[in-house]
Amino acid sequence: MELWLQAGIDPQVVVSFVSFALGGVALGTASGLVPGLHANNFALLLAATAASIPADPLFVGVAMLTAGVVHTFLDIVPMLSLGVPDAAMAISALPGHRLVLEGRGREALRLSAVGSGLAVAAALPLALPITWAMTHAYPFIRAHLWVVLGAVVCLLVVTESSTEAIVGGLLSFGLAAALGWVTLDVTPKAPLDAGSMLTPLLTGLFGAPILLDAMGGGGVPPQADAKLTMGRRDLGLTAGAGSVAGSIVGYLPGISAAIASVMALPAVPNRDADRGFIVATSGANTANTVFALFALIALGTPRTGVMVAVDSTGVPLDVPVLLAAVVVGAACGTLLVVALGDRYLLTVGRADYTRVSLVVLAFLSVLSFAFTGLFGVLVFAVSTVVGLVPPRFGARRVHLMGVLIGPLMI
């Protein structure tokens, strides 16, 4: 303690930081492992109760940010475990599910952790130059936002694999954009004041359809060892590409980490396409969260639900403290993926898969009601129908991000 005092560090501050950071880790773990739940929900709950929390708002922000980072590490776990299709449908399955069907789910978990971890390591030295560049470019981007978003949509469409997929992508984008235009500005009346229409929209578009399509599947098969078979060079390049893509979209409204991963696809080696996709997506997801913090600091514009909560709570933007929270979240997230992921896969693999899918679907409906009321349940149902469209045409589900891009373009 004497050494801390001599160094000018208040031990009470350190204890408070550690306590709130660990609290954020717990919240991020819960949101990451529970399908349909997001760190945004906990962040908004913290924001709503911040005035009654007897602590410096900076530490509340530490909890929010740590939860957001940990979530980006752990959300791969339910994604790999739930919605695994029948082996006969492996060709049209998500890359992560194809690896699970091959018995490489444990490897996929570790690839995701490495991708997210490398994204944080790359984000710290890239923060200053990319923030400087985006700060100078932002006035132009803001003035021509519809052009930038239109270019992103065109990129997503033209990179589809067939004419049928292109048609499916355009149809999916149009339906999702119309759905977002009708519902996003609605203020729901709900039991919990910690959500938005994004809860039923995103869980309906991206979660429920995968569960429905996999309802008759065999679930999670036995998994082999966790050895990484992707070359170190390919792993590093792919994670770096995902990190750079995630850093850029962290400054752009309406552009998600899923879109960033598509932007990073040219860096994914063909010989390891599925593994590369997981690494790039995880890297982009985590980098997007980290750079959303820098976007808030540099531009004063929150880009994620967590940053909206940080901004609304009046959290002091103390960069060293908040970056320390990011590092703590990344370290804990890496360990938790390994510690909990294998067990999660094993538990789901032993359960009746149809029953698991039905329980999760029911939970998503309850979650929609809790955060957005009866109207949210209706939106969840309609979103689920729209979310079933892309795979019918062999198109990527990322076109469904039109739910955000479309209204922004208009």
Checking if the pLDDT of 194 tops 70, the result is no
pLDDT at 3: 40
Checking if the pLDDT of 7 tops 70, the result is no
Checking if the pLDDT of 259 tops 70, the result is yes
What is the mean predicted confidence (pLDDT) over 341-356?
83
Cα–Cα–Cα angle for 104, 108, 109, rounded to 5 degrees: 120
209 closest CA partner among 54, 383, 22: 383
pLDDT at 237: 84
Query: Which tens digits make up the pLDDT trace of 291-308?
Result: 888 888 888 887 777 888
User: How far is 277 from 261, CA to CA, in rounded Å?
Assistant: 7
Give the confidence band of 139 by pLDDT, cuts at 50, 70, 90. Answer: confident
Give the confidence band of 23 by pLDDT, cuts at 50, 70, 90. Answer: very high
pLDDT at 136: 85
Checking if the pLDDT of 193 tops 70, the result is no
Those residues whose C-beta lies under 8 Å from the C-beta of residue 102, and which sit 6 or more positions away, are: none
Mean pLDDT value across the chain:
82
Query: Which tens digits make up the pLDDT trace of 214-258?
Result: 776 667 788 888 888 888 888 888 888 888 888 877 777 767 666
pLDDT at 268: 62
Give the confidence band of 6 by pLDDT, cuts at 50, 70, 90. Answer: very low
pLDDT at 1: 43
Return the structure tokens found at 317. Answer: 């933007």
Highest mean pLDDT among 118-122, 165-169, 363-367: 165-169
Give the confidence band of 13 by pLDDT, cuts at 50, 70, 90. Answer: confident
Residue spans of the domains in the chain: they are 2-155+221-352
Checking if the pLDDT of 273 tops 50, the result is yes
What is the mean predicted confidence (pLDDT) over 109-121?
90
Give the confidence band of 2 by pLDDT, cuts at 50, 70, 90. Answer: very low
φ/ψ (deg, to 5) at 331: -65, -45
What is the mean predicted confidence (pLDDT) over 342-360?
83
pLDDT at 57: 86
Tell me the three state secondary structure of residue 24: helix
Instruction: Supply the pTM of this predicted model.
Output: 0.84
Give the confidence band of 80 by pLDDT, cuts at 50, 70, 90. Answer: confident
304 closest CA partner among 341, 254, 266: 254
Checking if the pLDDT of 59 tops 70, the result is yes
What is the mean predicted confidence (pLDDT) over 150-158?
86
- pLDDT greater at residue 211 or residue 65: 65
pLDDT at 22: 94
Those residues whose C-beta lies under 8 Å from the C-beta of residue 336, and which sit 6 or more positions away, are: 25, 29, 70, 73, 74
- pLDDT greater at residue 166 or residue 410: 166
388 by Cβ neighbours in 10 Å (0-12 / 13-18 / 19+) ranks as: middle
Half-sphere CA count of 168, side-chain side, radius 13 A: 20
387 closest CA partner among 221, 175, 232: 175
Helices (H), 189-272: 198-202, 208-213, 232-249, 257-263
